[in-house]
Chains A and B, each alone.
Chain A
Amino acid sequence: MQTRVTLPSPVADLRRTAPSLVEFWVGVTLCALLMLATTWAVLAGDWVARAGGTLPVVLVGVAEAALLVRMQVSRAVAVIAGPLFALVAALPFTIATIPADGNASVAHLVVRYAGAMWLPQSLFSADGRTFLVALSLVLWVCAYFATWMAVRERNGGAAVFPCLFVLALNILNAPRSFGLVLPSTVAVALAATVVAQANLSRLAATWRHRSMVVLPGMFGRYMRSAAVMLGLVLLVAALAPPVSSYDLTQSILGSGSPGGLQSSTANRSSQPVGFSVDTVLGGAISAAHPQTLFRYTTDAPAPLYIALATDSQFQNGVWTHGEGSAIGDGSGGDVLWAASAPELGAETRVVHLDVTALTSDSTNATIGARSVALAPWVGTPLSVSVPANAIGIVRSADGAGRLLTVDRLELVSDLKEGTSLSITGAVSTATIEQLRGARQAYPDAFTQEYTNLPGDSATDTLIGIARDWTSGTGNSYDAAVAIETHLRSSAFTYTLTPPQAPDGTLPIIDFLTHSHKGYCQYFASAMAALLRAEGIPSRIVNGYANGTRTSVDAKGDTVYTVTSNDAHSWVEAYFPHYGWIPFEPTPPSQLGYYQPPVRGAVTLLGVGATPNAVPRAYAGHTPSALVLVLLGLLLVLVLLGLAGVWLARPRDLRTLWRRMAVVGRLLGVRRRPCDTDAAFTARLMAAIPPDRAALRRPRGDAGICSRSLRASICKALDEIAVLSGKAQFSSKGIDATERVRWLRCWRQVARALPRLVWRSLLARRRVVEDPYRTGVAAL
């Protein structure tokens, strides 16, 4: 006669069972940390300026959801109250971002704010403030939803889904992708922890409802297992290589698109890094989706900066190319130089460059209304193997057109994928002393073209700054180096998202006087302008820096690959007799380890390429792995040392027993609430494994050597227990001598602890290998 027992369904259990206080606070705390990490990742993406107000918004969202959970309201109430709570959370921290328009009435504010809350429109708005409101609301929704689902519904997967979605979009579309690794990793780790904790909460609720007894140690091991799994998962994710690094969206969305899912957000705030003929400051740029352009090999001792075009006209803060004159018959070959051009003799070295285009039109640029294919060149171009026209300042004193300078090489036909061309150029090998001794008599053509500055207040500012920075220098070269050094100092910061200049202020002036933040065009513009302010002919060179070493060709030459992220601007200053000498005012960044050129041997900009094709680690600021490991080891040693000091120095007997409990845990003996000091000590003594000599003796012969470690430790523990009992229960307590004795005994135990723990681990491993031995008995 049997009766069936029907267990209640888990779903019905959870609806009736509210989370316990511990579960509630743990869940809410984890959700808050998850949202903070997600917000941190979003902020690190640099979507919009002054976005710190989103942090309190998400915290308020978590708090609101937690309040509803605690009040045990129904789902319908939570959904209905959601919009009101969203408004309460977002309004105080974002209302100030909406600029005043003279109408301060509440209704008008509400209407303007409500417009910003319409997410489908505001998320794609070009206005930063509207986007900020939308971003705050999106993050609030994630916080509210995550907290409700994790704590109330105990559904971890659903709770973290929106956060993972936001993280994914952030990774793919953030204007600044560098710096997302750490916050994204933290957010993902916390998301996994939320999933584990929600599952544990659900299980615990089910167990409570079914009156199932939970044996001790369950919750601790559960979370430890979750932590171990999470660690393995993160390790796998960090080590596994990507399947492909090719951006398919280019072919799906068509060329000219910035790639990925940016589209409208790119329109709003950032353009991709890439070559441009003119140097126009302002606006954020993004290095998220580099395109591979061409590869090259060279006989130069190091990878090269490759020029495509120069800018010599400076007006209204914008550097543009000079119109110049074209010379050449379109058949390629030697570039024709004027007889009075700078000597290209002892202080130069001829460098060969072989370039192969990896995409069509990889060096195209828009000049005026034309789309022109440009030939890359190095130093002073001497020849090019395909039909091209050299554009520059032409001197025709002797009736024949000769080039004084080359601004660019325009190819007759576009560069197709797979096309190869060879270029030779003369790179300066002038030494520092030679450059310092250069004359300051410039040809008229240079003075007209390369030293002019507009006659406005901006020029006065530039002159003042130049004088200030070059004070104490006695020659053009030292002045140029002083300007270069000043720009590379810590006073200036490299960033792809410089702040907008105030209205009425030129970006270059704002950069030099106020923000001190910008990318290579800012630094190059500033240096070129300051050089001109000092009367030194200068120009900006636009092209590509370095490239990445990718392979070795059949001849054994290193092949470098250049991507759009290698686009760069630098400065050349003219030194009579030595020609155009390059300078590098841009400090190292995530896009390149820019270094000033080394003079004397071969003046080549750039130092060794790194193998990564996507934004490279900034080697100057990133400590090497070895240093990190050593620092980690040092930290561990320091912590162990502190732990050892804490362990070895109890203040009194009460704190001694706390340390004794730690020793017990290390030896695998947990102090039970019912244990007296003497009982616990007896268990500790029993847990101390015998010495190795005793282990090797045949069974039955367990004689303990009086000098054995085990014996001495047991004796010390016994003495501690006796003295502790005397201190607790004796009317007189213990005197100073006995205090010294227990301290000495304790130190003896602490000193032997590492050996005891090691032996205990070995003994436990030996025991565990016997599968028929039962372990912990409960109840």
Chain B
Amino acid sequence: MQSRALLLACVAFLSLLAGLTGVRLAYSLAYVVLSLLALSFIWSRATSRRLTVTRESPSGTFTVGEPFTERFTACNHSSLPVAYCEVVDHSPIDGYLASRVCTLARRASVSWSARGVFDRRGRHSFGPLEARIGDPFGLFPKSIQVRAAGEMLVHPAVHPVDDLAPAWSGGSAGDGQPGRPLDVAPDVSTVREYQTDDGQSRIHWKSTARTGRLMSCTYDTPQTSGLLVVLDLGSAVHAGEAPESTLEYAVSLAASICHASLRRGHAVGLVTNDAAGTIFRTRRGEAWRLRLLDFLAVAAADGTVPVAEAVSCHGRSWRGRGGLCVITPDRNPEWVEALLDTGMRGTRPLCVVVEPTSFGAPGTPLRVSAAWRQALNWRLIRRGDMPTSDTSAHVKTR
């Protein structure tokens, strides 16, 4: 802009001198500067109108830590070369560097791929994209905007929670056997990719023939017991900043537990104390698992009702139906009392406390008394116990 203003001033000055004096060389000098400005303008406009930038983005649902690849193509349809083309990607994905600078010959295109990793759950969109081009003298830069691509949902990270499994696993009352449910009923809920430990009888041959890959059935097993997960989404109890925050840890834990339970055939329900008081009744199946993960992907700590209330409200009605798991960073012992008041029999509820002081919250940690230890299963999760950046420990959810 400054260069352009100075050159315009040059043109005016030189034109004035040339007009006053009539000297041919002065006119030539003025013509040089004037034609430089004019040609730069025409070049910039002509190339910007015939430039297209496209991106091929992945769509669907992903999980935190899952890599993705995008392919960008910048195409110049004009007869003039593009001296430089800055393709700037404004995707709000930390650490994702898809921006490139390229040059385009006349009627040519350039493609490149960019890889990134989703490091946060939630709804994300790729873009917007901005292509900045200009003439070689930087006098008339032009910017082309490409709107953001469609949204995708990133599920929270799912970690292996086998060490928590004995704490809540078990079937109906009296059946405390952990592990995979028996194939007692042929109610196929969905098909999925074959895994090495799937039985040969699980293979769904029609899907296999159609897709060309081995596909296994998953079954609903209504006789197995369920699990109710109570997730604390109160706004006042969480601490830290994403990705190292109690909320992220709690959500990730909830997702991990739900995923593991549903994969084992349990029925899982989810109760939260967010602003909407979201409740998911217990169900089984892959579709339910995805629905729970979809909710957890966008769950926000915006609730005002303490988790004790949710526990006391839903704990009593859940009594005897299966395991109960409370995930919270709340240091107020009211929810523990409420949990004890539910009078759970058969299985001891699991309390997963995400210690807020390790995330920078002031105050003292929750003290777990001996009586509570007797009555409940406790797991204490501190910051760093579930590193969100360590994607190698994540469980594949798809």
Residue-wise interface mask of A (191-232) relative to B, using a CB-CB cutoff of 8 A (1 in contact, 0 not)? 010011011101100010011111101100111111001101
- Contacting residue for B108 out of A214, A244, A768, CB 8 A: A768
- Residues of A close to B111: CB separation below 8 A: 774, 776-778
> How distant is B30 from chain A, measured CB to nearest CB, in Å?
8
Check A167 for interface membership: any CB of B closer than 8 A.
yes
Check A234 for interface membership: any CB of B closer than 8 A.
yes
> How distant is A563 from chain B, measured CB to nearest CB, in Å?
12
> How distant is A208 from chain B, measured CB to nearest CB, in Å?
10
In contact, A261 and B99 (Cβ under 8 angstroms): no
- Nearest to B130 among chain A residues (CB) is A7
- Contacting residue for A213 out of B2, B10, B26, B101, CB 8 A: B101
Q: Which of A737-779 contact B (CB under 8 A)?
A: 768-769, 771, 773-779
Residue-wise interface mask of B (15-59) relative to A, using a CB-CB cutoff of 8 A (1 in contact, 0 not)? 001111111111111011101100110010000000000000000
In contact, B22 and A213 (Cβ under 8 angstroms): no
In contact, A157 and B39 (Cβ under 8 angstroms): no
Q: Which of A390-411 contact B (CB under 8 A)?
A: none
A218 with B108, Cβ < 8 A, contacts A158-B6, A207-B86, A288-B23 known: no
Bound-complex Cα distance A614 to B24 (A):
9
- Residues of A close to B35: CB separation below 8 A: 232-233, 236-237, 240
In contact, B137 and A171 (Cβ under 8 angstroms): no
Residue-wise interface mask of A (247-281) relative to B, using a CB-CB cutoff of 8 A (1 in contact, 0 not)? 11100100000011100000000000000000000
Check B222 for interface membership: any CB of A closer than 8 A.
no
- Contacting residue for A777 out of B24, B75, B83, B112, CB 8 A: B112
A229 with B23, Cβ < 8 A, contacts A1-B300, A240-B31 known: no
> How distant is A44 from chain B, measured CB to nearest CB, in Å?
12
Check B103 for interface membership: any CB of A closer than 8 A.
yes
Check B280 for interface membership: any CB of A closer than 8 A.
no
In contact, B29 and A171 (Cβ under 8 angstroms): yes
Bound-complex Cα distance A200 to B88 (A):
17
One of A180-188, A528-536, A674-682, A705-713 contacting the partner: A180-188
In contact, A171 and B26 (Cβ under 8 angstroms): yes
- Residues of B close to A118: CB separation below 8 A: none
Number of A-B contacts (CB under 8 A): 222
Residue from A207, A243, A244, A775 whose CB has the most chain B CB atoms within 10 Å: A775
- Residues of B close to A240: CB separation below 8 A: 27-28, 31, 35
In contact, A260 and B103 (Cβ under 8 angstroms): no
| B side interface size, CB within 8 A | 71
- Nearest to B299 among chain A residues (CB) is A1
Check A441 for interface membership: any CB of B closer than 8 A.
no
In contact, B29 and A244 (Cβ under 8 angstroms): no
In contact, B137 and A768 (Cβ under 8 angstroms): no
- Residues of A close to B109: CB separation below 8 A: 773-775
Check B330 for interface membership: any CB of A closer than 8 A.
no
A188 with B29, Cβ < 8 A, contacts A211-B97, A229-B137, A775-B110 known: yes
In contact, A210 and B99 (Cβ under 8 angstroms): yes
Residue from B9, B29, B113, B137 whose CB has the most chain A CB atoms within 10 Å: B137
- Residues of B close to A3: CB separation below 8 A: 92, 94
Bound-complex Cα distance A76 to B121 (A):
50
In contact, A247 and B22 (Cβ under 8 angstroms): yes
In contact, A226 and B83 (Cβ under 8 angstroms): yes
- Contacting residue for A245 out of B22, B28, B39, B103, CB 8 A: B22
Check B281 for interface membership: any CB of A closer than 8 A.
no
In contact, B27 and A2 (Cβ under 8 angstroms): no
Check B205 for interface membership: any CB of A closer than 8 A.
no
- Contacting residue for B136 out of A226, A252, A777, CB 8 A: A226
- Contacting residue for A222 out of B4, B83, B108, B122, CB 8 A: B83
Check A238 for interface membership: any CB of B closer than 8 A.
yes
In contact, B137 and A195 (Cβ under 8 angstroms): yes
Check B264 for interface membership: any CB of A closer than 8 A.
no
Bound-complex Cα distance A218 to B120 (A):
34
In contact, A4 and B19 (Cβ under 8 angstroms): no
Check A39 for interface membership: any CB of B closer than 8 A.
no
In contact, B83 and A778 (Cβ under 8 angstroms): no
- Residues of B close to A184: CB separation below 8 A: 25, 29
- Residues of A close to B27: CB separation below 8 A: 240, 242-243
In contact, A207 and B39 (Cβ under 8 angstroms): no
- Contacting residue for B31 out of A167, A168, A237, A248, CB 8 A: A237
Bound-complex Cα distance A232 to B122 (A):
53
Check A507 for interface membership: any CB of B closer than 8 A.
no
- Residues of B close to A84: CB separation below 8 A: none
In contact, B29 and A168 (Cβ under 8 angstroms): yes
- 17 pairs across A/B with beta carbons < 8 Å? A1-B298, A5-B90, A155-B2, A165-B13, A198-B138, A215-B103, A221-B83, A221-B105, A225-B83, A226-B137, A237-B31, A242-B18, A247-B20, A773-B109, A778-B102, A778-B110, A778-B112
Beyond A158-B2, A779-B113, 14 additional pairs, beta carbon < 8 A: A2-B122, A157-B139, A171-B29, A172-B23, A180-B25, A195-B138, A199-B3, A203-B101, A229-B39, A240-B35, A244-B22, A245-B22, A248-B22, A771-B77
